[in-house]
Amino acid sequence: MHLVTRFAPSPTGPLHLGHAFSALTAWELARAQGGTFLLRIEDIDRARSRREWEAAIYDDLAWLGLDWPGPVLRQSERIPAYRAALEILWRRGLLYPCTCNRRDIRAAASAPQEGDAPPMGPDGLVYPGTCKGRPATGAMPHDVALRLHMDRAMAETGPLSFEEHTAADHCGQVAVDPAAAVAEIGDVVLARRDMATSYHLSVVVDDAHQAITDVVRGRDLFEATAIHVVLQALLGLPVPRYHHHRLIRDEAGKRLAKRDDARAIALYRAEGLRPGDVRAMVGL
């Protein structure tokens, strides 16, 4: 089968060494297998995304020696596709509206219970279920966050799994256990009030839309993959192979984040470094 992979940055800041590693790893996987490398701009966060950062992404990746076929898919142009997927879930009674803010969730989650620390999921605190009983019939509301009924979802799908490739010579099946998904992931947000979708929903819809066979991304998204596999099962979408790669860390051992502009590729370029130097810095 023809391999298709992608690099899917959000244009909310400069690309840094961690992005370079991710993009190079995906591009080289495609090249090694005679496959296709796609670029996708994940700009659903309209408040933080900037056209300048998108232009900088094209510049930096081209400088690194990467190429990709056009047109580049931009998630901000795909909102109707995400709404259609949400409608399917809504009509099946798998979503409910939620009006909690972060503070509400913190307060409800840490209300004295059995004394255990509130569980943390891939998106932070596991949602304590405050809005779970809210009516979720009639037309799907557009002005409110929508959460997935994880228990109902897992009752529909049963146990799931995905194929994880940790290295070229090592792969295995990762199980998504229904009880664990309910307890450790919980009712994640699939549509944020301010963006009509969420990272989890749009990444799943678009990986299927672009016929991605192999998702290459950082280890920090490994736990979120269970959410994606649940959504793929609910929406009848294929499950790609996943390759979660090591994270690039700074000298203190902390993984690089968007705010680590000191490690921006553009800065190294401006200092006169060559693409080969950047490859060496990330251990390629």
Name the site residues for ligand GLU (rule: CB under 6 A). Answer: 8-10, 42, 203, 217, 221
Instruction: Give the pair of three-digit tokens for residue 144.
Output: 């409110």
Our finding on whether 264 is near Zn ion (CB under 5 A) is no
Angle at the Cα of 84 (from 3 to 234), degrees rounded to 5?
60
Q: How far is CA 135 from CA 132, 189, 229, in A?
A: 9, 17, 27
* DSSP-derived 3-state class of residue 39: strand
Nearer to ligand GLU, 5 or 86 (CB): 5
Q: Which does 217 bind (CB under 5 to 8 A by kind): Zn ion, ligand GLU, none?
A: ligand GLU
Nearer to Zn ion, 56 or 100 (CB): 100
Nearer to ligand GLU, 19 or 147 (CB): 19
Residue type at 165? Answer: H
Our finding on whether 191 is near Zn ion (CB under 5 A) is no
Our finding on whether 131 is near Zn ion (CB under 5 A) is yes
Q: Which does 5 bind (CB under 5 to 8 A by kind): ligand GLU, Zn ion, none?
A: none
Q: Which of 282, 281, 276 is nearest to 245 (CA)?
A: 282
In the shown chain, the binding pattern of residues 80 to 119 toward Zn ion, with x for contact by CB under 5 A and - for none, equals ------------------x-x-------------------
Nearer to Zn ion, 150 or 205 (CB): 150
Query: What is the distance between the alpha carbons of residues 199 and 217, in angstroms, rounded to a whole number?
Result: 14
Q: Which does 24 bind (CB under 5 to 8 A by kind): ligand GLU, Zn ion, none?
A: none
Q: Taking a C-beta distance cutoff of 8 angstroms, is the pair 25, 234 a contact? A: no
Nearer to ligand GLU, 203 or 205 (CB): 203
Query: What is the distance between the alpha carbons of residues 18 and 83, in angstroms, rounded to a whole number?
Result: 31
Q: Which does 42 bind (CB under 5 to 8 A by kind): Zn ion, ligand GLU, none?
A: ligand GLU
Query: What is the distance between the alpha carbons of residues 57 and 53, in angstroms, rounded to a whole number?
Result: 6
Nearer to ligand GLU, 87 or 220 (CB): 220
Q: What does the DSSP 8-state code read for residue 16?
A: B
Q: Taking a C-beta distance cutoff of 8 angstroms, is the pair 114, 168 a contact? A: no
Residues that bind Zn ion (CB under 5 A): 98, 100, 130-131
